Amino acid sequence: MINIFRAFNPLNILWLAILVFILRLGYIVEAPDKLQFVFVEPFARLLVPVAYEYAFSPIENVCIAAVLVLGQAVLLNYLVNKYNLLGRATFLPSLMYVTLSSLFPPFMVLSAPLICNFLIIWMLFKLFSFYKGEDAKSAAYDLGMITALGSIIYLPYVYLFLAIWIALIIFRPFNWREWISGVLGYFTVFFFFGVYYYLNNRLGSFYNIWAPLGSKFPNSISINNYNYLVLIPVIIALILFVFTFQQNYYKSYVQVRKSFQLLLFVFLLGGVSFYVKGRFNLNHFVLCIIPAAVFLSYYFAYASRKWFYESLYLLLLISIIYFQFNTF
């Protein structure tokens, strides 16, 4: 499987579509009677004045989510190849994205974090362009607006705003105008959002939008450890990525090294922002899949022992399918 996607062959899109279906087949069989889909925060419910939460049947919900995942996988693959992050053209990023997006049942359904992954990919296109761009003010302004849009869809996305400043630190010399541009872009969206609240006599509620950001970081999280055994192959591959990337670090272009530094921060920001939501939901970590997919694809692109990396990926596929039918 890995060798097939190492080659840059457009026919791999067909294999991706088949894999997306196979990895969701078990969940479709065991799907609940109803699946709720909420794609905007409660404070933005005024923007969507119709009932949509149960507009799709469970099968329709999962199938639409699968189409979105396939589209995101192709976009991510284009991004990685455009900026030559792996040093070669390949379809591995799309393969890893499709695989990681099937790790847990909450990843496989329509959700706000899944929709926000389109925004993360859009942001990465603009963030990576900082390296060779002469003027980043307009891009930073656009990025601020994208982050604001993501915050309306899913409030923890607001932490991705820090990725703009981190990218400016990594890619560019300090320019206060570029730093302020991102802030202006963010508040431009919420200015018009505030006007909309005012016109609907809800301005008092507008001030409470960011109240969850003051929540304390939880001391513990109750999880079923057995269901998380599926992460073992992923953790092994991530550890191997660290060693592989370390060996090739000084052989890579400066832009590639800086891009992976940024991806690491995006991964961390996406992960730690989960506490903003009052109720912990595993689908939040869909925000971490994009950088994780790039990390895994880097390892599999440079792995040399075929029997090992093919077995590791096969173990991951088997684990995903197995735990879909065994929830303990």
Query: What is the per-residue pLDDT across 145-154, written as a single tens digit (0 to 9) for each?
Result: 999 999 888 8
User: Does residue 79 register a pLDDT over 90?
Assistant: yes
Mean pLDDT of all residues in the chain? Answer: 84
Contact by Cβ (8 Å): 319, 230? yes
Which is more confidently placed, 6 or 38? 6
- Going from N- to C-terminal start, the domains of the chain cover 2-131+223-325
Which is more confidently placed, 145 or 213? 145
Under the banding of pLDDT at 50, 70 and 90, the label for residue 219 is low
pLDDT tens profile 23-39:
888 777 777 777 776 76
Which is more confidently placed, 49 or 327? 49
User: Does residue 42 register a pLDDT over 70?
Assistant: no
Torsion-angle region of residue 201: left (phi > 0), alpha (psi -120 to 50) or beta? Answer: left
Contacts of 153 (CB under 8 A, 6+ apart): 39, 40, 41, 44, 112, 115, 116, 119
Residue 41: both structure tokens together: 């925060």
User: Does residue 264 register a pLDDT over 90?
Assistant: yes
Report how far apart, in Å, the C-alpha atoms of 23 and of each of 92, 99, 150, 158, 297 are: 17, 8, 28, 31, 18
Neighbours of 205 (CB within 10 A): 13
> According to the model, what pLDDT value does residue 251 have?
76
Q: Give the chain's length.
A: 328
Distance CA 64, CA 86 (A): 30
pTM for the model: 0.90
Q: pLDDT exceeding 90 applies to what percent of the chain?
A: 40
